[in-house]
Amino acid sequence: MSYCLNPHCQHPEQPEMSEVEHRTCHSCGSSLVLKNRYRILKRLTPKASQRTFLAVDEDKPSTPFCAIKQFNLPDSHSSVTATPPSHSTYLRLESLAEHPQIPQMWAYFREGDYQYSVQEWIEGENVADEIGANGVFSESELREFLQQVLPILDYIHSRQIIHRDIKPENFVRSGDRIYLVDFNNAQFATGTTNLYAGNHPIGSAEYAAPEQVKGACSPRSDIYSLGVTCLHLLTGLSPFDLFNPKTDTWVWQAYLKQPVSKRTAAILEGMVAKSPKQRYRHASEVAKDLNRNPVASAIAFHNVPTPQQLTPKTTAGAIAKLRFASLGTLVAASGVAVGMFVSHLANRPTVEPVGLQAPSMHPLPSPKVEPPQFQTQAAQPTSPVSSMLDTLGTIWSMDRSQNGNLLALGTDEGTVEVWNSKTNQRVTQWQAGEGAIWAIAVSPDGSKVVSATQDNRVKIWDTATGQLLHNLKGHHASVYTLAISPSGQYLVSAGQDNVIHLWHLRTGIHLNTLKGHRDDVQSLAFSPWGNLLASGSSDGTVKLWNIPTGNLQQTLIGHTSDVWSVAMSPDGKTLASGSWDRTIKLWDVQTGESIETFSQHDRKLKSLAFSPDGHTLASSDFSGTIHLSPVDNQGITGTLKSNSDLAGILFADGGRTLLSGKQDRVMEWNLFAHLYQ
């Protein structure tokens, strides 16, 4: 199929023709191949004044799709579309290709009576069509949208470029990224006021700022248009219907299909203020307000009454507010509800189903990773235990980079905090969701943080900026656990839907689905070389998966209750599993045989961690007790009490110290000082 570019052609859509015939319009005789390389496939814009086309670049071996816009020439009297950007603007637009969420500017040129621009084509669905198909955005979806697009605006404004046509149609979701497209109306900001004054209005009237309609604009105009876009995404209505000209006020809140918080409403009002002086100056200011005071968590622990405050009338309401799928009992501790795990008290199947076959998977390239090297450091006795840092909420998950410099924490209010564990200083923080961060993982080099919440989403973040890189969709229930391969190539996630998803960490591409568990998957651990994955489940089993092939390699049976934690030894030869049957089992990874069983815990097991030298295994239970167990005759023995039933554990300082979560802080245990002083 081809399409004729001639605006006066009566029959621009071309019938199927031969290779030779398809180069000339059958109706008007115009060429169908622009600049002898771009074949026009179809028109994308319905308005007569805006002519944008989908084309294919036949000059490149891969014949990629591209978007081509047709402009008037400065001396033309045609009413095809707006005057094209200047050469200097095109140069500036070309530089924007450095941003991963802005399409590349490929070319601009004159041919015949028109000028054309050629841009990279982003395959996906714009958010206007998205709400048409799926309905309006919820508040959490809107905040996620803003988390992605505000950094784009901040980026282009920092380069003195004003988009001038921000609207739902120009935000395209491709995979887990949202792209800002169509920079053909963009213009430089000039002077110290960052204001551009033109001789005609630019942009779509519904979304254009008042000053833009009068022919002037600034970065605040883009912020206004983005705010109006948000109002449309929340209501599904035209902005013209959301503004009352009699009172000169926005009335969008009267048309909401789902309520939004007062804080989010205030941010939006600050974006769409009529006077530019009353608006946000920079997109970064909007982002700062969005992250500074997050929407109250759906798991509002700080608002849950104590047992003494609960009456028969209020109890049901308090429990209902927790809104956890599969969290059945409310547990109160020090006036704080921590009933996250209690639905798993029911008995679990403990035997492997007869005839279970390893699932058929698509093979993956085997990662080439050198075995990790560890060095034992001499112990220098210091204080046996100290508080490293104070967080902004109760700690629900924690992980650290391979070199130990960065520590990432997930809180009950959906906040991710990144700390420098050497200086005990908070490096950055951002809002990753509206509920508790159930699992968190840091890439080996510390450049990425992955979070999982009860909303079924797994999100990959840039550690330095807090920018959302990928929003991974695939789970159909809450995600409980994450793991990143030692090479930083693969990410795995699992939870309440019983399956394990394998992702490519850098691109967010889904690679495989591992199926075999009959109940929630509670824990994951890679081997040191990343070719083997261990998973522990509420079905009482531990499974070993071959990552390159995706095949189930072994099923380890021995626990009589839920397996909540697994850990792989640094040499990859031993696997540890911790269960709600209050035992820890060591397994030979090669044979699958049980080597040893530890039974020193009085409560259900929560976390496990091998020391870097592999000689000692640390384990924590739901009473907050931490046991140190020797794996061989070089290991150490001891008991630590953190007084927290949500303690996660991590070794640090080459095994000299152990980190554990305790309410709103991380405790640092000096193992040698504690055990021997």
- Catalytic residue numbers read 165
Q: Tokens standing for 346? A: 């029911």
The runs of H, that is alpha helices, within 304-430 are: 312-322
Q: In this structure, what token pair is assigned to residue 601? A: 């815990």
Euclidean distance between the first and final Cα of the chain, in Å? 82
Map residue 162 onto helix, strand or coil: strand
Q: Is residue 673 classed as helix, strand or coil in its secondary structure? A: helix
9 C-beta neighbours (distance < 10 Å), count: 17
For residue 489 the two structure tokens come to 């190539």
Residue 441: which of 490, 475, 401 has the closest Cα?
401
Give the whole-angstrom CA distance, residue 124 versus residue 179.
9
Alpha helices in 214-282 (DSSP H): 219-235, 262-271
Largest CA distance in the chain: 94
Both structure tokens of 446: 């510390």
Query: DSSP alpha helices (H): ranges in 467-614?
Result: none
Strand partners, 425: 420
Written as six digits, the tokens of 219 are 């970065």
Angle between helices 262-271 and 139-158 (to 10 degrees): 30
Nearby residues of 587 by Cβ (< 8 Å), 6 or more positions away: 542, 556, 574, 575, 576, 577, 593, 594, 595
Token pair, residue 676, equals 């021997």
Buried b (16+ CB within 10 A) or exposed e, 448-473: bbbbbbbbbbbbbbebeebbbbbbbe
Of 617, 675, 603, nearest to 646 by C-alpha is 603
Side chain identity at residue 144, one-letter code: E
* Of residues 121, 141, 139, the one with CA closest to residue 130: 141
Dihedral (C-alpha) 608, 613, 614, 617: value to the nearest 10 degrees?
A: -40
**What's the order of all strands across the beta sheet hosting 33-34?**
33-34, 38-43, 51-57, 65-72, 114-120, 105-111
| Chain-centre distance for alpha carbon 182 | 25
* Residues ≥6 apart with Cβ < 8 Å to 493: 439, 450, 452, 458, 472, 475, 479, 481, 482, 500, 501, 503, 524
Listing DSSP states for 600-637 in one string gives --SS-EEEEEE-TTSSEEEEEETTSEEEEEESSTT---
Is the distance from CB of 566 to CB of 523 less than 8 angstroms? Answer: yes
Q: How far apart are CA 68 and CA 81, in angstroms?
A: 13
Q: How far apart are CA 385 and CA 672, in angstroms?
A: 11
Beta bridge partners of residue 172, listed in sequence order = 126, 179
